[in-house]
Amino acid sequence: MIYSRITVDPEQMGGVPCIRGLRIPVATIVGLLAEGVSEKKILDDYPDIEPEDIREALHFAAESVREKQVPMPV
C-alpha cells in the first residue's frame, strides 16, 4: 500500500512517521484510538487532521507489525 498521508522526515520529529508532514505522529493517533478516544474527539482536538488521516494511520500501524516478530512479555 502506498501511504499518501503518512510522511517520514528525518528533520522533523526525529524521523517518526507523522500525518501529512504535520507534527502529529501516527503513534499518537493510534494510541488515542487504543485508549478509547473517539474519532470525533481526535478530529476536534487536532483540527489539522482529517478522517482519512486516521484511517491511513491505522492501516500504516497494522502493516508495520504484519508478519514480524513482536516481543511479548512472559
pLDDT in tens, 7-66: 999 999 999 999 999 999 999 999 999 999 999 999 999 999 999 999 999 999 999 888
- In terms of pLDDT, which residue wins out, 23 or 73? 23
Provide the pLDDT confidence category of residue 70 given band limits of 50, 70 and 90.
Answer: low
Q: What is the pLDDT of residue 32?
A: 98
Q: For the domain 1-37, what is the CATH code? A: 1.10.10.10
Give residue 34's region: left, alpha or beta (phi > 0; psi -120 to 50).
alpha
Are the C-beta atoms of 16 and 8 separated by less than 8 Å? Answer: yes
Rg (the chain; Cα; Å): 13
Are the C-beta atoms of 8 and 20 separated by less than 8 Å? Answer: no
Q: How far apart are CA 7 and CA 22, in angstroms?
A: 9
Domain boundaries, the chain: 1-37
